[in-house]
Amino acid sequence: MGAREELGGRCWTNLRGTAAGGRRGAGRYLAVVRFSHIIATKGRPDVLGPALDSSLATLPMGSELIVVDGDSARSAEPVVRELAERAARNGRDPATVRYLTSPPGLTIQRNRGIDAANGEVVLLTDDDCTLEPGIFEALASGYADDSLVGATGRVIQPKEERIGSNQYSRLRRLALGGGLQGTMTSFGFRRPIVDVDREHDLEFMPGPFMSARRAAASAVRFDERLTGYALGEDDDFSFRLSRTGTIRYLPDATVHHREIGQPAFDQRMFNRNLVINRAYLRRKNFGHGLRSRLGFAALLALFCFHRIINREWGALRGLLEGFMELRRSGHAGGSWVDARSPTDGAGLEQQG
């Protein structure tokens, strides 16, 4: 067992030497656990196809694939139907592949999939992600630990060319004040995993690759106040999930995030809402303490510096506009936070 560190009264462990033993029991656990692989999509049938193919190729027998389509034109339905027919020709139960419709919005669609899931464990990936063979065996090894409520793993994606944008950078971790990798700062930002070949207990999961026990995911749920693109929904969901049990990074579980056809957001509006959503989530999950407020202010300054060195002037203007709106209103609003919905995180653990 690796070194153990205390964080906020909880014991966090960097696990070593446990994966092999877990893999020996993976086949046994796969025989009794059912996975529900949930993919939310909207208007991207060409992108969706490879994701569905990789899921069906790796999905254990008895598990299911659920596609939740937020497109009123039902553009994903023909792709899903074709996959279900192919699955049946290959001897799989046609019910393995399910198609659901939903109002648009990532948080709404993911909740719809969780509510419909029959599996004991739900896997949530983006519609431009493909699964590496062995992912379900690696997850099964992790979930053999009854204390685990969530798990993620490697996300392989195109190299980020912008200066200071490498999410695995040790420099980025130092800029956030150090701390235990895989945890969240007091102002709601990720401390990146830099030792990617080892298992770690976490307080966050990246949106392209999240998994959870269905009962826990159903209780925690995604915050539907975060509408549309739902900036920060992954950090919010996984942080609240980590308050109920252990989330673990499993290096043998791998997803390829192709980042195909990323929406061409107005960078000014995107960054304005980045400030607004992050402020909302900071207050919701980390409270109003002085340390939290100062850390968030420092983070905004770091964002501004990042946009300046990358010469992203529209993005910089959006950050400043978001900051000014927070100063004026004193609460989260904006196009990606639905102010008409309940504002609470009732029953959620608050950190000051």
Residues 130-172: pLDDT tens digits? 999 999 999 999 999 999 999 999 999 887 666 555 555 555 5
Q: Cβ(257)–Cβ(155) under 8 Å?
A: yes
Read off the pLDDT of residues 272-308 as tens digits, 9 standing for 90 and up.
888 988 899 999 999 878 888 888 898 899 889 989 9
* SS3 per-residue string spanning the chain: CCCEEEECCEEEECCCCCHHHHHHCHHHHHCCCCEEEEEEECCCHHHHHHHHHHHHHHCCCCCEEEEEECCCCCCCHHHHHHHHHHHHHCCCCHHHEEEEECCCCHHHHHHHHHHHCCCCEEEEECCCEEECCCHHHHHHHHHCCCCEEEEEEEEECCCCCCCCCCCCCHHHHHHCCCCCCCCECCCCCECCCCCCCCCEEECCCCCCEEEEEHHHHHHHCCCCCECCCCCCHHHHHHHHHHCCCEEEEEEEEEEEECCCCCCCCCHHHHHHHHHHHHHHHHHHHHCCCHHHHHHHHHHHHHHHHHHHHCCCHHHHHHHHHHHHHHHHHCCCCCCCECCCCCCCCCCCCCCC
Q: Alpha carbon of 133 to those of 58, 65, 254, 255, 266: distances in Å?
A: 6, 16, 8, 9, 36
d(CA 320, CA 161): 24
pTM: 0.82
Identify the residue whose tokens are 């800029």: 175
From CA 177, how far away is CA 51, in angstroms rounded?
A: 37
Shortest CA distance to 122 belongs to which of 58, 37, 215? Answer: 37
User: How sure is the predictor about 261, in pLDDT bands with cuts at 50, 70 and 90?
Assistant: low
Q: Is 4 exposed, middle or buried (0-12, 13-18, 19+ CB in 10 A)?
A: exposed
Tell me the mean pLDDT in the region 22-35: 67
Instruction: Locate the domains of the chain by residue range.
Output: 4-257, 267-329
C-alpha 56/C-alpha 97 separation (Å) is: 8
Annotation: CATH topology of 4-257: Spore Coat Polysaccharide Biosynthesis Protein SpsA; Chain A (3.90.550)
Report the distance separating Cα 269 and Cα 315, nearest Å: 8
Give the separation between CA 299 and CA 285, rounded to whole angstroms.
17
* Per-residue model confidence as pLDDT tens digits over 194-235: 889 999 999 999 999 999 999 999 999 999 998 766 788 999
Q: Is the pLDDT of residue 15 over 70?
A: no
pLDDT recorded at residue 202 = 96
Could you tell me if 93 and 51 are in contact, meaning their C-beta atoms sit under 8 angstroms apart? no
Bigger pLDDT: 334 or 73? 73
